[in-house]
Amino acid sequence: MEMADRIKSRRLALGYTQEELAEKVGLQKSAIAKYENGRVENMKRSMIEKMSQVLECSPAYLMGWAGAISDELKKTADRTLLYIQVLESYGYKITLREASVDIFEKKSNTNFTVPRKTFMSMIQRCHKDITWNLEKFLSEISTTEEDPLIDAAHERTDIKVTDEMKKYDDDIMDDENF
């Protein structure tokens, strides 16, 4: 399936006429007909983006790359959207741009713009932290569930233990007030 076929398929799936699609992306009906007939070989990147938004699909799908995107990239995209939802639930408005990310803090009515690469690195660090914390938490739970009692101390192996030291340890263990 070529890009022309994918454009037409998505347009029909959404129930748009060529005129309606043309109006939504800011083109003439004849331009949409040319796209759908494959008479336009080099579509501008900005038009691919606009077309994918209106047709509710990814630019990669329109370009025919959707099958080539690795599972890891899909996971990263899903993770990014999840973190954006979490941040927005805490009062931030996140707007992803091509090279930057706009962050609006509602509480203080403040705007920040950071490079997209920096924002994505932060998300990666958050994921690693959450994963590490969850693994630690689950490890603590399994240890607690398996062995709810504290293990007794073992005899020291780093020094030679004398009888006097053993007696002292026994006295402490037998002391009811300790």
Residue 17 sits in a domain of what CATH number? 1.10.260.40
Range of the domain at 135: 71-143
Are 17 and 53 part of one and the same domain? yes
Q: How does the average pLDDT of the chain come out, rounded?
A: 84
Q: Check: pTM over 0.75? Answer yes or no.
A: no
Give the model's pLDDT for residue 103.
92
61 occurs within a structural domain: yes
CA nearest neighbour of 3 among 62, 85, 91: 62
Which amino acid makes up residue 146? E
Q: Which helix (H) or strand (E) is 49 found in, with range?
A: helix 45-54
Structural domain total, the chain: 2
Are 80 and 139 part of one and the same domain? yes
Report the percentage of the chain scoring pLDDT > 90.
26
Q: How confident is the model at residue 130 (pLDDT cuts 50, 70, 90)?
A: confident
43 occurs within a structural domain: yes
Least confident of 50-64, 69-83, 102-116, 136-150: 136-150
Do residues 48 and 62 lie in contact, with contact meaning Cβ atoms separated by under 8 Å? yes
Q: Is the pLDDT of residue 151 over 60?
A: no
What tokens appear for 10 in the block? 């998505």
Mean pLDDT highest for which of 6-20, 67-81, 133-147?
6-20
Q: Where are the beta strands (DSSP E) in the chain?
A: 92-96, 100-105, 110-115
Give the model's pLDDT for residue 33.
94
159 occurs within a structural domain: no
Do residues 116 and 100 lie in contact, with contact meaning Cβ atoms separated by under 8 Å? yes
